[in-house]
Amino acid sequence: MADNSSTAFRILAFFAHPDDETVFLGGTLAFLAGRGAEIHYLCATRGEGGEMGDPPICPREELGKVREGELRCAVKALGGKSIQFLDFQDPLVGPDNELYPFSDNVDQVAGEISQHISRIKPQIILTHGPGGEYGHPAHIQAYQALMSALSGLGHPAVSVYAPAWLSRETGKFTPEPGIQVDISPWKGQKLEAIQCHRSQHGLFTRNSSARAGRPVAIPEIVKTREALCRILSNADQDEPDQLSDLLQEIAVHDGEDLA
């Protein structure tokens, strides 16, 4: 495990839905919080359009409140300084599981993000990638709005990182990761945070269970590797920044086999 020396910089973790922070980068966030980074969470929606549990744990009209509580529980497990919401409504999943963005006005979203960036003044932003990981329109919109916000602020000195999502179908990452990290020492915290998102447990395990041909338990879906890609740098693009330097401590090297 890396040492516990303090790392004093501010991180904005901006995601579209409660659970995105944990699923994509929970171990990395726990590592950074443990090293003293000041992490501020910003969520575009309360996940009102998502699953209500399997079986349902609440009626539809209460899901936003439930998922807000789940995010607060997860951040307590991972470590964080603050949690804020942009209050956009997460749309319901459409026919044939069609997914949608959370707003028809990217400029409005960008304007609200700008206010939080100006208040927090982060050196690092963790958010969705340009492809929305697996193509989720809300994730793509969050990325587009963030980049628009940074442009409107005159491109402040900030580095932007996104999770690199490993497709089980293709075996390839989207986008190509700049670094893969071993989160083994923080796997317990990530599992604790995943357990917080109880309304989404059916979603988390359904596909894995189908592939395995048996029920898959929540602990089985928590892996020991996460991957990140630097989208924007506050240094020269080929030079390290505060986060890339720190992540080298837990970087996965070629040939390592992690679950």
Q: Give the model confidence (pLDDT) of 194-212 as tens digits.
A: 999 999 999 999 988 988 8
Q: Which tokens in the block code for residue 72?
A: 């607060």
**C-alpha span between 229 and 165 (Å, rounded):** 10
Q: What pLDDT, on a 0 to 100 scale, did the predictor assign at position 1?
A: 42
Mean pLDDT of 30-56: 97
Give the confidence band of 235 by pLDDT, cuts at 50, 70, 90: low
Give the confidence band of 191 by pLDDT, cuts at 50, 70, 90: very high
pLDDT tens for each residue of 91-114: 999 988 899 999 999 999 999 999
Give the confidence band of 227 by pLDDT, cuts at 50, 70, 90: very high
| CATH hierarchy code of domain 10-250 | 3.40.50.10320
Q: What is the pTM of this model?
A: 0.93
Give the confidence band of 3 by pLDDT, cuts at 50, 70, 90: very low
Mean pLDDT of 56-71: 98
Q: What pLDDT, on a 0 to 100 scale, did the predictor assign at position 237?
A: 60
In degrees, rounded to 5, the angle at the alpha carbon of residue 159 between the alpha carbons of residues 157 and 160 is: 135
Mean pLDDT of the chain: 92
Asked whether the predicted pLDDT for residue 243 surpasses 50, the reply is yes
Asked whether the predicted pLDDT for residue 74 surpasses 50, the reply is yes
Mean pLDDT of 59-69: 98
CA dist list (Å): 77 to 3, 152, 165, 172, 248:
20, 34, 23, 30, 23
Q: For a pLDDT cut of 90, what percent of the chain falls above it?
A: 79
**C-alpha span between 216 and 250 (Å, rounded):** 28
Mean pLDDT of 178-183: 95
* Eight-class DSSP state of 92: P
Mean pLDDT of 111-131: 97
Query: Contact, 241 vs 125, CB < 8 A?
Result: no
Give the confidence band of 124 by pLDDT, cuts at 50, 70, 90: very high
pLDDT tens for each residue of 144-176: 999 999 999 998 899 999 999 887 777 778 788
**C-alpha span between 82 and 79 (Å, rounded):** 9
Higher pLDDT, 235 or 81: 81
Domain boundary assignment for the chain = 10-250
Nearest to 24 by CA among 206, 164, 196, 216: 164
